[in-house]
Structure 1
């Protein structure tokens, strides 16, 4: 189990064994994929409890997703938030320390009682905050009541009710479904922020430049959930080596298989066209923020038809951003 100090926006160092243990810890526990509105409420309550009782606000999470290790769903091989982004978001919510447990087959055999006595109590945890559907231990045998029991009544357990947005329960599964449908605004509402994919610009076949619409071909740096195939209005942040934003641009993104040019069965591609930008981006890291779904991916009868459609897509995206700016 690794311990990270999150006093800065990024992971900055290792929290030494026993550091601040005497002060006690208020611990939020969960996988927190997406750090969505429901997760944020769990974390906020853990932080509030820490402030009330003079404890260190901390989180315990797992990597990779337990269901991947247990073979319970291939969809969990992709993530809404990679671990590094998750830690940054948790830090912004007031978390000061994170305990990351590497989840493997051996750990999956740990009983609920062993988990509390070997992984919770030794940290000096005085209070825990968990979601309404929290379970832990071998085959998910433990719940909030078990956490109290095995903590010998010395660990306060706070259970957070589900969060609803416009009648919909906020969950990572629901967000994935919205992205699968291309419904970016709905997914963003459930997340509490726009959906972002980060990656590095790699060489393509330069066909976009030949068409008059140069594109940056993005290779995601982590196994992000990729929204449905189609064309999107997006914001593109060009990042510095430090991860800070160097510049922001509007543009359009094609997610798909380029049926006009490529044979069926090819690799999925993410090709971003930045408006009014012509600098070399090869090897640079970009962050793509999904704004609006424009249309499904199509196969065009001619190159001229494709160029005409890309022009229309760009005009539509510029209009969307113009309206948003006026709002």
Structure 2
């Protein structure tokens, strides 16, 4: 897949020169609703013999339009992960548009002229709530006016599950609550985060349950505190394990939140390695135990429950 970065002033020279079907959206999470849009665009591209291009933004729209701090945003899919998912859905090109101070005040007609017609779109596909400026004047209903019949418009209705719209907001809430079953159901895949193995306090090793400690980028959303069944991609291998997100209150109050994973049948020294964690389900909440012996007893139960879970999965 070709990835093309666009910003203002608009550079036509780097645009793919042939006709495209253009799927539009921010696509945080690339959930089942987003997949529906991109798959519909893929069908249209194949029918018309055109390339499938997906357009996304380099930051969350709330940063540019609502003044939200970039450092406070926790993405379901940072750009690297989003691009991986676009590839899996058959995208030929992804345009990543810089949501900078030059593009924010742009009117809807100029945006359509540059970022739809200017990208050689013969068909534009988006969800029914897609906007390209102020939502009361730059929405899918008004797009026909701005398009001036220069491209076809396909509006994809909201996907609903159990009577509710599949949306990024609901998925974020599920992940924050640790409800990975519901989040993964709406995503259509197992939620992932990335991280780097760093040195910890090695308490797990002393307890007989050695862990890898992860430094996870600030812009990635991690599940709420608890114990989870996970699969980790590390040094080219997939390894099951049980993860703890918490503050180790058994060993004292006021400690920093950590992400620690006890990997099954794995004993390599991997400090500095990049890993990917697939979060399958929450096993239980965090608890403060009266002593190390009680904690070890619980960890043995967690290990058993995690292995039983993966046997069923």
Q: Same fold (TM over 0.5)?
A: yes
Say if 2:39 is the partner of 1:49: no
Say if 2:187 is the partner of 1:191: yes
Report the Cα distance in structure 1 between the residues aligned to 2:20 and 2:256, rounded to whole angstroms: 46
Runs of at least 5 residues in structure 2 that lack an aligned partner in the other structure: 4-11
Normalised TM-score (structure 1):
0.88
Contact 1:38 1:163 in 2 (8 A): yes
Contact 1:253 1:270 in 2 (8 A): yes
Instruction: Decide which of 39, 50, 61 is 1:66's aligned counterpart.
Output: 61
Contact 1:82 1:224 in 2 (8 A): yes
Report the Cα distance in structure 1 between the residues aligned to 2:174 and 2:134, rounded to whole angstroms: 31
Contact 2:73 2:219 in 1 (8 A): yes
CA deviations on 1:163-197 (whole Å, 9 max, x unpaired) are: 11233321111111111221111111100000111
1:69 Cα deviation from its structure 2 partner: 2.8
The total of aligned residue pairs comes to: 306
Report the Cα distance in structure 2 between the residues aligned to 1:220 and 1:142, rounded to whole angstroms: 36
Say if 2:113 is the partner of 1:117: yes
CA-atom RMSD, angstroms? 2.2
Instruction: Decide which of 256, 261, 264 is 2:251's aligned counterpart.
Output: 261
Q: Which residue of 1 aligns with 2:293?
A: 304
Change beyond 3 A, Cα 1:54–1:76? farther
Runs of at least 5 residues in structure 1 that lack an aligned partner in the other structure: 7-15, 240-245
Report the Cα distance in structure 1 between the residues aligned to 2:248 and 2:213, rounded to whole angstroms: 13
Instruction: Decide which of 164, 167, 171 is 1:168's aligned counterpart.
Output: 164
Change beyond 3 A, Cα 1:140–1:210? farther
Report the Cα distance in structure 1 between the residues aligned to 2:86 and 2:66, rounded to whole angstroms: 27
Report the Cα distance in structure 1 between the residues aligned to 2:297 and 2:222, rounded to whole angstroms: 26
**Matches of residues 14-53 of structure 1 in structure 2 within 5 Å?**
17=13, 20-21=16-17, 23-53=18-48
**Matches of residues 197-216 of structure 1 in structure 2 within 5 Å?**
197-216=193-212
Instruction: Decide which of 89, 93, 96 is 1:93's aligned counterpart.
Output: 89
Report the Cα distance in structure 1 between the residues aligned to 2:99 and 2:72, rounded to whole angstroms: 14
Report the Cα distance in structure 2 between the residues aligned to 1:157 and 1:275, rounded to whole angstroms: 51
1:201 Cα deviation from its structure 2 partner: 0.3
Report the Cα distance in structure 2 between the residues aligned to 1:90 and 1:103, rounded to whole angstroms: 20
Normalised TM-score (structure 2):
0.92
